[in-house]
Amino acid sequence: MALADEFSKYRSPLVSRYASKEMAFNFSDRKKFSTWRKLWIYLAQAEKALGLPITDAQIAEMETHAEDIDFSMAADEERKLRHDVMAHVHTFAHYCPTAAPIIHLGATSCYVGDNTVTKCFKFTISEYIKISLARVLDRLANFAEKYADLPTLGFTHYQPAQLTTVGKRASLWLQDLCMDMRNLERARDDLRFRGVKGTTGTQASFLQLFQGDHDKVEELDRMVTEKAGFKKAYLVTGQTYSRKVDIDCLSSLASLGSTVHKICTDIRLLANLKEIEEPFEKEQIGSSAMPYKRNPMRAERCCSLARHLVALMADPLQTAAVQWLERTLDDSANRRISLPESFLTADIILSTLQNITEGLVVYPKVIERHIRHELPFMATENIIMAMVKAGGNRQDCHEKIRVLSQEAAAVVKQEGGDNDLLARVKRDPYFTPILGQLDDLLDPTTFIGRAPQQVSRFLSEEVHPLLEPYKAKLNVKIDLEL
């Protein structure tokens, strides 16, 4: 029989292996149920202020016990009642006997359930996800600036193409991440409080409590919304807020996952070429069988978890689609998994990507060798133009270059040799008029167009202004535990 310890049951790797302690706490039972209690206190305070017979002593009693949650009692109550919210109402009431009659007064389960979720969404996006993303943007911006004018082979279809620069490629990563930041800001700013709406969203229970006074019911909604830290509540809801709210928030996270997967795939491809590597620690082992290997395990982890983050998007889409009328409970179990896992996964891939971008290693000599191997083919148009300027015939020159290029390509592909096109050009008397220009015609910096200028403008006009609100929180490094 297995020992009854923490290692004898399944534990989600998101929490046990990867997540930060802060993010794990943010989605913990303690955080959730203490938020429920705060929401019950806000409701009681507002109801008292609007004239219901609730005493200061009752509210003080609730405030005294807001954090001391008896989880064992709550679990026993839930097993008996089969209702998590009522289990916690009973548990809270047990420790607050004076306040027991007014706890959850007029409310429905979604008053604490949905409002806790919107508070958690807003807090997590603002205090964790956006700040982590800002740090990644900052590290990549520094990287792009440092290597803005370092020529490197561009690739289309993963075949060598026109040159770009290492910094320009990083600016493409940055641009996607900037879009993700704006998506997150929009999702956070669009978030509203579910508010105080009652069983099916009509506020009928509160209208009864306030004896038909519509103004007091609206004021109650406004007061509780303000106490919870929101400027607005949804004006209409069913029993729940529209599950499209979950779609809005998780789609911004899934989009971020797509971006991170693309960036880390690029890093993995470049690591194969030995042009760029993620950090590799002194005692790190790349392979149990091949001790020489330096596998890009951080980038691979990001890709693996990013796929999970993108796949989680299917849950809120389907949940919103299958909600019946004012509400069905088949959303509940799914949301207990998909909502926290989306935020936990987003936080993990950002912290891992930050660690990668803080230690990216570039190998200019390897990059230069790859350029030398391909550049003679790319320079053929420049050679033709130089010959025409020297009095040559464009068509004759094109035919000469075509023949020499195919001969050089055969050496590369069939014999495994180096690209000797330049040597063939130098040996051919036809090209004597431009031999003195060949070095200039093959200067890699003449093939990168406006890449350095584009990087500079992009950083100054888009990235740096986006990072300005986060300046005080950028200087935090990430050390991965695993």
User: DSSP states of 258-270 as a string?
Assistant: HHHHHHHHHHHHH
Q: For residue 85, which of 156, 44, 35 has the smallest C-alpha distance?
A: 35
Residue 369 to residues 69, 153, 366, 406: CA-CA distances in angstroms?
A: 64, 10, 5, 21
**Residue 18 pairs with which residues in a beta bridge?**
none
Positive or negative torsion for Cα 306, 308, 311, 312: negative
Interaxial angle between packed helices 380-389 and 364-378, expressed in degrees from 0 to 180 and rounded to the nearest 10: 50
Q: d(Cα 445, Cα 398) in Å, to the nearest integer?
A: 24
Q: Please give the Cα distance from 430 to 263 (Å, whole number).
A: 46
User: What backbone torsions phi and psi does residue 243 show, to the nearest 5 degrees?
Assistant: -70, -5
**Residue spans of beta strands (DSSP E) within 72-176:** 151-156, 159-165
Helix locations, 1-108, DSSP H? 13, 21-26, 29-49, 56-64, 71-81, 84-95
Give yes or no for a contact between 180 and 259, defined as CB atoms under 8 angstroms apart.
yes
Please identify every residue annotated as catalytic.
157, 287
Token pair in block for residue 345:
């996964």
CA 245 to chain centre: 18
User: Residue 445 is which amino acid?
Assistant: T
